[in-house]
Structure 1
């Protein structure tokens, strides 16, 4: 009997999934959040737990793709115009945080006896927070779109950009630096500028036509492959020139934020992003070296507390300086006090350049990982204090999300019917987002100035990405009855607060929508037929008041017949079709005439 063949990485995959399935729900049940659950899962199966894996750093290198996809998805949510509005938070608050935190931490390390080159690398490395951890926490709390969430993201974005000059600083501090190295540094700067320009230009002029062509094939898997190719390709290009992969993916996402495919791309990428982010957190937990912590427990403990306290105070003070209220400043401070994943990159480069001793590198890495682990607990502490203050009658400042973050109306189907509905709503200044699955319609509508995106009405993830979970009204203006039926069922189950308005193709479809419990439906030819009939009666010489009587009676009989059909079937109430409308004026004159005759 032949031995069973086990695919590569099969056992490892089973272990990762098992650890996540057990640890994450338990962590969320006790209020620690999924991030801590993933970290504990990694610690459990890593070298210092059950020892299923011995090399966490190889897994961590692969799992960083989760951070790449996370930044790509965030970029899809930020149009260039909106990103420009955040310039003060990114370049003002973000640069201030990196510079002030780096200088203060560097000074403290130098005062306790570290050489200046070590203090510079360690200080500025610890000044960087974790984009992966902070954004995951903000998303779980639903606060990424809140004012403090946007400011925290601005700081994180600048930190991602600052990895480039910090790596250059490591090269300059290296004992190996020579005249040829300066020439190489200048060449790298030129390569970086060229790579950024290439990503921006490709995203601006090339990607939308490519996705339009792919969408016309109606092959979802090809669209998914293209989305991954864009995110990972731009990330790889940036890595080749020395920038962070996450920054490259973010830039490509921003360039696609104004395209009609942003919501579909976001829905396609999200499952991969979530799985890889979980793998990233597990790998970070596996990298925690308990023997290093045990041998240097006092240094590590003091380092973690000092790092989180110093960064927290600096971030709070800077946020207040840049206009945040006290409540927002505190929330930013407890969201970003940890070290970040880019510190691993910086410390590894410094160790390779003979700047950072191996033992110091291991201690700093342990401090960063433990600070990540304690960040959700710091957030819980702030929530506990705020709850106690509220209970004692001390009100805190309210935190609101951006009003423009979600549409008030979602229109699905943008043919002639959906376009007219949109025109009615936008004429009152009502914010809408429209979806359609035909590239030709999308291109035509965009040339007319409408905000419309590529999306399938039967995909719940696309509807959610387009804002369906927060929409006040969802208007289904699609032609396919079966597709609409499936969409109505999904929307009613998942977005119960949204009103559902539907376009019915015919009377049978209208009856079906009634049974599904939609809030409003109308046959697409009903109103136009009544207008046609009114005009015909006017041409035949009937006065306008009589025409209005007939129209009102036809509407009433149609509604009565519809109710009868719901109870008795398709042919019920057919006698309603052939009744003559009584004349109100004739009825009003009937009794006086009878009285005179008598």
Structure 2
């Protein structure tokens, strides 16, 4: 079959899906973010890479994309989904806990860096609107790269998280500002700008009011069906509707996507929606980054090597200095300031989004955007090397800092209760009474709403989705308690948890001894059969009423419970190690 007989869309889909299937696992194996991989794939298979040779070698048609404009609609949709998921990840509770760092350190870092870059670019001849757009774009740092490298439980990771959180928030006004400037980029007058701004504010305010009233009801209906497909359809309907609403008044559709994400983040369904949208986020970001890589011409880089090198070094140096100095002024250790400053110095994947928005708004020329896209792509690619350099310099500057106290407090781990029924609520009460933090999750929206009204920390979500539990803090959870009355589901979840976290205490509710044996076989640390517990409680009541002292009764009940547990484990022919039989109290 000749290349002409193959649909270009099918060929492009083959390249994109093939890249996702190869890049993500290969780069994950070496603990490198796939962001770099997607850019390199775009560079390799794009029109400036192997795509140049399609006419000489026809077989390359199947593994290259010679016309990147065909991907523009997919890339735009990918940007919308990416900004929607950024909105989903923001939480007012999370922001409030770190408000001083986020709105103090984070705001200072973005505004100071953006202002210095904008002033420098303006002096180089860039018109003020374009200089402002470029300064703000280049001031952003990569959440997708920095947090996986630094983590969130180290001084560097927590300092970076505070700044990145503010940058995620700032995306809203930045994109809003660029969208408002778009129709008047070449005009000196401000009347039209103010008109667009106040109309945009009214539209966004209306979306927020309508969203707060309508979205909980919409997703409550979807939750009652327990259909992930309906959740996905409702989510896409909301994000596309909001994007179209802002596009109709002349603002960027990204503004609508961000507002939609922020509104859904305030509902109890946001964790489930985040889990459902996660694969689409990765693929959407991958498509966008592939198109970025396709726009990189190695010959252009070679011809302008001096200017590009100077721009990359200048941006990295300026951002590292500003971030490091601000951290020192806010009380961070010298080693933390150095390492964080160097790690945060490269531009972000959202820099590319802002550049694209600025280009579509006619604030900068396409050639200027391409130049800074190349600078950004190079900065993203060298971020892991910057992280290593920062660690090396920090250790040499302050070698005793490894055991120093953290600069910032981390979120405290909490137990995860699967199920908000009567058993789950009782477990939550006992954990609260003994000062233990917890979060409960259930797929029954009405039950979750009841628990929240009664003061329980409960959220809506599918406990069978591992990514949902990870978002709730599974990697640091002291224990997971399964309370649902669904034997097959409990066994499947237990098996997945044990495979992913061999040392995690898993305490599970069982219907009877046979079910308990299955749970032990699946990897439960402790399985509690309801029928046996009812018998033990009945025996305890009888003995107390007959006049036996409470102390000996409780001791005998505990002995009998341990005896039953041994029998259950032996009947299941298990080889569980004693270390897995961990009590909740020890968590």
Q: Which of 283, 302, 312 is equivalent to 1:275?
A: 283
1:403 is matched with 410
Aligned residue for 1:544, secondary structure, equals coil
Q: Which of 92, 102, 105 is equivalent to 1:80?
A: 92
Aligned residue for 1:443, secondary structure, equals helix
Aligned residue for 1:502, secondary structure, equals strand
Task: Give per-residue Cα distances to partners, 1:12-36, cap 9 Å, x unaligned.
Answer: 1112233455556666677764222
- Taking the aligned partners of 2:200 and 2:169, their CA distance within structure 1 comes to 16
Correspondence list, 1:563-582, <5 A: 563-564=566-567, 567=570
Correspondence list, 1:522-541, <5 A: 522-536=528-542
Aligned residue for 1:259, secondary structure, equals coil
Alignment root-mean-square deviation, CA: 3.7
Correspondence list, 1:189-204, <5 A: 189-204=197-212
- Over 3 Å counting, the alpha-carbon distance change for 1:506 and 1:362 in structure 2 is closer
Q: CA deviation at 1:554?
A: 6.3
Aligned residue for 1:469, secondary structure, equals helix
Contact 1:56 1:283 in 2 (8 A): yes
1:595 is matched with none
Are residue 473 (structure 1) and residue 479 (structure 2) matched?
yes
Q: CA deviation at 1:544?
A: 2.7
Q: How many residues align?
A: 554
- Over 3 Å counting, the alpha-carbon distance change for 1:123 and 1:413 in structure 2 is closer
- Over 3 Å counting, the alpha-carbon distance change for 1:324 and 1:346 in structure 2 is farther
Task: Give per-residue Cα distances to partners, 1:526-550, cap 9 Å, x unaligned.
Answer: 44444434444555xx3233x8656
Correspondence list, 1:220-239, <5 A: 220-239=228-247
- Over 3 Å counting, the alpha-carbon distance change for 1:230 and 1:496 in structure 2 is farther
Normalised to the residue count of structure 2, the TM-score between the two structures is: 0.82
Are residue 366 (structure 1) and residue 366 (structure 2) matched?
no
Contact 1:95 1:158 in 2 (8 A): no
Aligned residue for 1:211, secondary structure, equals helix
Q: Which of 336, 347, 355 is equivalent to 1:338?
A: 347
Q: CA deviation at 1:501?
A: 0.7
- Which of these two proteins has the greater Rg computed from alpha carbons? 1
- Taking the aligned partners of 2:47 and 2:493, their CA distance within structure 1 comes to 48
1:300 is matched with 308
Q: Which of 153, 172, 178 is equivalent to 2:164?
A: 153
Correspondence list, 1:374-413, <5 A: 374-386=382-394, 395=402, 403-404=410-411, 407-413=413-419
Are residue 441 (structure 1) and residue 447 (structure 2) matched?
yes
Normalised to the residue count of structure 1, the TM-score between the two structures is: 0.80
Correspondence list, 1:55-454, <5 A: 55-56=67-68, 59=71, 62-89=74-101, 92-109=104-121, 111-112=123-124, 114=125, 118=127, 121-122=130-131, 124-129=133-138, 134-141=142-149, 143=151, 146-157=157-168, 159-160=170-171, 161-166=173-178, 168=180, 174=186, 176=187, 182-241=190-249, 243=251, 245-330=253-338, 331-338=340-347, 340-345=351-356, 347-349=358-360, 352=362, 359-386=367-394, 395=402, 403-404=410-411, 407-454=413-460
Contact 1:328 1:399 in 2 (8 A): no
- Taking the aligned partners of 2:555 and 2:377, their CA distance within structure 1 comes to 72
Contact 1:442 1:453 in 2 (8 A): yes
Contact 1:91 1:158 in 2 (8 A): no
- For structure 1, the residue ranges without an aligned partner over 5 or more in a row are 571-598
- Over 3 Å counting, the alpha-carbon distance change for 1:398 and 1:14 in structure 2 is farther
- Taking the aligned partners of 2:343 and 2:518, their CA distance within structure 1 comes to 52
- Over 3 Å counting, the alpha-carbon distance change for 1:177 and 1:453 in structure 2 is same
Contact 1:89 1:154 in 2 (8 A): no
Task: Give per-residue Cα distances to partners, 1:289-346, cap 9 Å, x unaligned.
Answer: 3343333332222222222222332233234334444344331453244271244235
- Over 3 Å counting, the alpha-carbon distance change for 1:272 and 1:288 in structure 2 is same
Task: Give per-residue Cα distances to partners, 1:449-468, cap 9 Å, x unaligned.
Answer: 11112233332222222222
